[in-house]
Chain A
Amino acid sequence: MKTRYTFGGDEHIYVEIDEEMSLDAFFKSLSMSNAVREAEIEGITEICPANASFQVKFNPDVIHPDDLLARIKTLEEKAIQAEKRLNTRIIEIPVYYQDPWTHETLMRFRERHQDPTGSDLEYAARINGFDSVDDFITAHHSQPWFVSMVGFVSGLPFLYQLVEREKQLEVPKYLRPRTDTPKLTVGYGGCFSCIYSVRGAGGYQMFGITPMPIYDPEQKVTYLQDFMVLFRPGDIVKWRPIDRAEYDDICQQVEDGTYIPKMANVEFDLDTFNQDIAKTNARLMEALNGA
């Protein structure tokens, strides 16, 4: 990993922790963006952590770009020393894989896809070397994921799976982006899964849909009444496959205001994780059983 500092015009500093994605790069970017926040440097207006990078927006009338850059660079050492440990939460997200709505949409935009003859899941399973779509779906939901970035549009989480590099699933984005994606589609592009928080354009492959809203500007959904966005970077997600009947049932519960997402507070330590991935993940998922 080699940190690269650069300016985005006269109002942004962009810090790329690493060119490639890894949990190490994510942790360092999160620690460093936290260190910048804690430093309370006058003139900074926004701090946006991302997968393997982060960005600081500032007012150059208050602090000269070169001075701010120098300040941020001094915080890199602190971030390296920081413990790679997070007090966070694990959230279970029900997913109706191969649902009729994303299927209708993917058929509508088939000419923009690498494989116009199949479905997004069939394509993803094949290029990742799985014998069946079911095996691929199992690989997608059997191990937990990290929310490594929130953004693109309103509260959309990017998720990175907590498995060895060789087990990471990788798929390209659509050849040309779609102009439509159903709200709450579970998507996939590069090595990232995502949940489309709102309906709109998108380039990620579509695998399924969740009945659980993750963004509500009206804040009517019971678990979004404190804040309209569910996810924050560092959250851990476990997908749980559901069928049509359960999908309909959860939609009704959300509507009635009785749905309570399953979540639990957990601690995640990167070194412990790297020593024994299977054991760490099992412990994380166990926490959900008590929730």
Chain B
Amino acid sequence: MALNIINPGLSTSIQDLGRPGYFHLGIPIGGAMDRFSMRVANMLVGNSEDAAGLEAVFMGPEIEFTNDTAIAITGADIPVMIDGVEQPTWTALAVSKGQKLSFGFLKAGARLYIAIAGGITTPEALGSRSTYPIGALGGFEGRNIAAGDTLPTGTGGNVNIGATVAPAMRRMPSNPAILRMVKGLYWHRLTEASGAQFLNDEWKVAPEADRMGYRFRGGKALEFVDREQPFGAGSDPSNIVDGCYSYGSIQVPGGTEPIVLHRDAVSGGGYFTLGAIISADMDFIGQLQPHTPVKFEAVSMDAALSARKERHKLLDISGLNYHNRMTNIIA
């Protein structure tokens, strides 16, 4: 049982929920950028939520199935075709041996997720199948998928074909997208006026936006509190003695263009960070297209924790067994 990759799309990688535990060695957690979408796709085809599927950015791949199975496509809004016939997204679909999956042009969002019953079963690396190309780790031979690859898949269980997720739950970023953050880390390096300006400015997603980080342009350059740079930090006011980076942390090299670190983040470096995006908003970043207007909104820790609870409620992943979960999410 396998998937034959006819055309990989633009940048398509095998992802699951990642490999925590190695960030202290510079190996990031990785995994789906939009975890909610990956989880839902897996649940629709009867997989455990951490089964490996595919993450494709901007363009879908073209795939041939070598056996009868079930799939689900979630994430970005993009037309899905089986043998050229359009199919619903966020829905468990039956496919037959020899059929081909293809995609139309992206309408909204940035990343789509493909789950297949039984999951993709390439070898695990450090406990995960997620692709980390910089470290040649996981994925298909340490890289993104390419034309001609044959991806092994596992045996699926019972799938409720046609099961679908309520449209209200398919949350996509607003326009402008609001990214909530908690001020902290090296926020104190900014002057008060500059900090306020940063939150007031409208930024745009830059073309340099990938799994490592999303860059933003369009706001005013930051101003730093005067100081004599500490020994070992480097001469630029945006430099610090190299430290660890938080996932979601916002660094601003040279004070000009903010970069939000994402699942394939570098684990540390010498740029100041002014806070971090709250965990509840990390998935949305993965659905932002270049040129999307964005505003950063500072929230309290309490608000961050409430937002996180809301996300959990949306897809109650703790405690409930699989069937209860499905009753909760299926419309």
Contacts and interface: CB of A to CB of B under 8 A. Distances in A.
Interface of A: 6-12, 14, 16, 18-22, 45-55, 57, 60-61, 64-66, 149-156, 158, 160, 165, 168, 170, 172-173, 189-192, 197-198, 200, 215, 217-218, 229, 232-233
B305 interface: yes
Contacts of B305: 10, 60, 64-65
Nearest to A65: B301
Contact of A153 (B26, B279, B312): B26
A8 B239 CA distance: 18
A154 B137 contact: yes
B135 A11 contact: no
A85 to B, nearest CB: 21
Interface string B229-270: 011111100011111111111000000000000000011111
Interface in B215-235: 230-235
Contacts of A14: 184-185, 243-244, 246
* Residue of B125, B230, B268 with most partner-chain A CB within 10 A: B268
B102 to A, nearest CB: 32
A182 B18 CA distance: 28
B222 to A, nearest CB: 18
Given A151-B24, A189-B234, A191-B231, A173 B270 contact: yes
Contacts of A218: 136
Contacts of A170: 232
Given A8-B276, A11-B276, A190-B232, 9 more contacts: A6-B184, A10-B278, A10-B301, A14-B184, A20-B233, A51-B243, A153-B26, A153-B266, A160-B232
Contacts of B243: 14, 16, 50-53, 55
Contact of B23 (A19, A46, A197): A46
22 contacts: A7-B276, A10-B301, A11-B279, A12-B247, A14-B246, A18-B241, A46-B23, A50-B243, A52-B232, A52-B241, A53-B244, A57-B20, A57-B23, A61-B308, A66-B301, A151-B23, A155-B25, A155-B27, A168-B231, A189-B234, A189-B270, A197-B26
A151 B269 CA distance: 8
Contacts of A10: 182, 278-279, 301, 304-305, 308
B21 A45 contact: yes
A46 B312 contact: no
Contact of A47 (B24, B134, B142, B249): B24
Nearest to B126: A228
Contact of A48 (B135, B230, B244): B244
Nearest to B282: A9
A16 B268 CA distance: 13
A49 to B, nearest CB: 7
Contact of A21 (B24, B241, B301): B241
B25 A51 contact: no
A154 B135 contact: yes
A11 B232 contact: no
A66 B242 CA distance: 26
Contacts, number: 188
A9 B276 contact: yes
Contact of B232 (A45, A152, A191): A191
Contacts of B24: 46-49, 150-151, 233
Contacts of B235: 172
Contact of A50 (B184, B185, B268, B275): B268
A215 B301 CA distance: 38
A258 B135 CA distance: 24
Interface of B: 20-21, 23-27, 125, 132, 134-137, 142, 181-182, 184-185, 230-235, 239-249, 266-270, 273, 275-279, 301, 304-305, 308, 312, 318
Nearest to B247: A11
Contact of B249 (A8, A19, A191): A8
Contact of B246 (A12, A20, A52, A155): A12
A188 B135 CA distance: 21
A254 B182 CA distance: 47
A33 to B, nearest CB: 9
Contacts of B21: 45-46
A58 to B, nearest CB: 11
A41 B283 CA distance: 27
B234 A190 contact: yes
A12 B276 contact: yes
Contacts of B135: 153-154, 198, 215, 217
* Residue of B230, B242, B308 with most partner-chain A CB within 10 A: B242
B267 A198 contact: no
B44 to A, nearest CB: 24
B43 to A, nearest CB: 19
Contacts of A46: 20-21, 23-24
A195 to B, nearest CB: 12
A8 B266 contact: no
Contacts of A7: 182, 184-185, 276, 301
B109 to A, nearest CB: 23
Query: Nearest 6 A-B pairs (CB), nearest first?
Result: A8-B246, A21-B232, A9-B276, A20-B230, A151-B267, A55-B244
